[in-house]
Amino acid sequence: MSAPRAVVLLSGGLDSATVLAIACNAGFDCHTLSLDYGQRHRAELGAAERVAQALGAAEHRVVKLGLDAIGGSALTDNAINVPTLGDSDGIPVTYVPARNTVFLSLALGYAEVLGAQDIFIGVNAVDYSGYPDCRPEFIEAFAQLTRLATKRGVEQGEAMRIHTPLIDLTKAQIIQRGAALGIDYAQTVSCYQADAAGRACGVCDSCRFRATGFADAGVDDPTVYQAGQSG
Task: Give the binding site for a second copy (CB under 8 A).
Answer: 33, 36, 61-67, 69-72, 90-91, 95-102, 105-106, 108-110, 112-113, 132-133, 135, 137-138, 141-142, 144-145, 148-151, 153-155
Q: For a second copy, which is the closer residue by CB, 93 or 181?
A: 93
* Backbone φ and ψ of 75, nearest 5°: -80, -20
Least distance between a second copy and beta carbon 97 (Å): 4
CA 100 to chain centre: 9
| Alpha-carbon distances of 6 from 48, 125, 207, rounded to whole Å | 16, 22, 29
- Helix/strand/coil (H/E/C) assignment for every residue in 141-193: HHHHHHHHHCHHHHHHCCCCEEECCCCCCCHHHHHHHHHHCCCCHHHCCCCCC
Give which of 34, 14, 9 is closest to 187, Cα–Cα.
14
Strand 5-9 and strand 118-120: pairing?
A: parallel
Least distance between a second copy and beta carbon 91 (Å): 5
Q: For a second copy, which is the closer residue by CB, 63 or 224?
A: 63
Q: For a second copy, which is the closer residue by CB, 114 or 186?
A: 114
Q: For a second copy, which is the closer residue by CB, 157 or 228?
A: 157
Least distance between a second copy and beta carbon 80 (Å): 11
Least distance between a second copy and beta carbon 36 (Å): 8
Q: For a second copy, which is the closer residue by CB, 10 or 211?
A: 10
d(C-alpha 57, C-alpha 34), whole Å: 13
Least distance between a second copy and beta carbon 227 (Å): 35
